[in-house]
Amino acid sequence: MHKSIKARSSFLLMIDIQERLIPVMYNKEEVINNSVRLLKAANELEVPAIISEQYPKGIGATIPELKVLIQEGSTVLEKVEFSCCNNSEFGDALLNLNFNSGTKDTAILFGIETHICVLGTALDMIEKYNLNVVIAADACGSRTEKNHLLALEAARSMGCLVVPTETIIYHMLEKAGTPQFKALLPLFK
């Protein structure tokens, strides 16, 4: 049974939204817009983030419109592995989030490509770390819509919660009328 999404027990994992990858995604604008929303919400709600970059020397860095939203102190992992969980530094990044104390047990994943790095990481997070995995479906992308949709279906069947960005942010907010709600409401207007 999946736990509810709470800001205090969650962390973001943004996967490989990089300069030379994003232009070939079929839904690149949607991925960028919803990634901006997730990072802004994480900043407002003090939800930590881990950022991965697949072979940045060849594929480029995280795109500028997202890079400026990455919180100071966030872990940025350079990797060649498709699953973030297979990167030797990833375990240390989880430890830095107080993962072992059980305070951060929900991973909110988004990025590219859905059917390769996002799906592989999601499945490994469940298997290796027994985390609750939430995938922001509209903040993930692939080169083809078919690959994207098949990967989301596979993730759901393996126990991931696959929902829209807006669902994730509203669940982390928990209620209306707060200063955080007022600060984030413009993201959805």
- DSSP 8-class letter at 89: T
Residues 88-147 pLDDT 10s: 999 888 888 865 455 788 999 999 999 999 999 999 999 999 999 999 999 999 999 999
* CATH number among 3.40.50.850, 3.40.1390.10, 3.30.70.890, 1.10.1740.10, domain 7-184: 3.40.50.850
Tell me what pLDDT residue 106 has. Answer: 94
Give the start-to-end residue ranges of the domains of the chain. 7-184
Structure confidence by residue, pLDDT tens digits, 31-69: 999 999 999 999 999 999 999 999 999 999 999 999 999
The region of weakest confidence among 15-19, 70-74, 136-140 is 70-74
Which two structure tokens, joined as six digits, stand for 96? Answer: 């830095």
pLDDT (0 to 100) of residue 158: 95
The pLDDT value recorded for residue 95 is: 82
User: What gap in Å lies between CA 97 and CA 124, rounded to an integer?
Assistant: 18
Predicted confidence at residue 112, as pLDDT, reads: 98
Which residue, 6, 9, 3, is CA-closest to 98? 9
Question: CB count, 10 Å around CB of 147?
Answer: 17
Q: Can you read off the two tokens belonging to residue 127?
A: 């298997």
